[in-house]
Amino acid sequence: MAAARWALALARGAAPVALGVLLWVAVAGGEQDRLDTLKGLPEANPEVLAQRRRHNELIMAALREAAETDENVARRPVPWRK
């Protein structure tokens, strides 16, 4: 009787673990495909990344200036210089 209860408890505990392992295998199998897809995107191009970095630098410079001044920089004419 005790052995049957022990076997049932073991089966109940093993079922969620087995389900978790199966789900992990299913997700991990698609991970390499996802990484390959990301490498093939045009954003992985060094020129696009350089443009994006430059754009981010300009935005950060504008934010930095806005934080350092009391003037409302949003009200300036569009082609503004420091």
Mind listing the pLDDT tens digit for each residue in 30-46?
Answer: 777 888 888 777 777 78
Q: Cβ(66)–Cβ(73) under 8 Å?
A: yes
Task: Decide if pLDDT at 78 tops 70.
Answer: no
% of the chain beyond a pLDDT of 90: 21
Q: Considering the entire predicted model, what is its pTM? A: 0.41
Over residues 3-25, the pLDDT tens digits come to 889 989 898 999 999 999 998 88
Predicted local confidence at residue 3, as pLDDT:
87
Which of 29, 38, 82 is CA-nearest to residue 58? 82
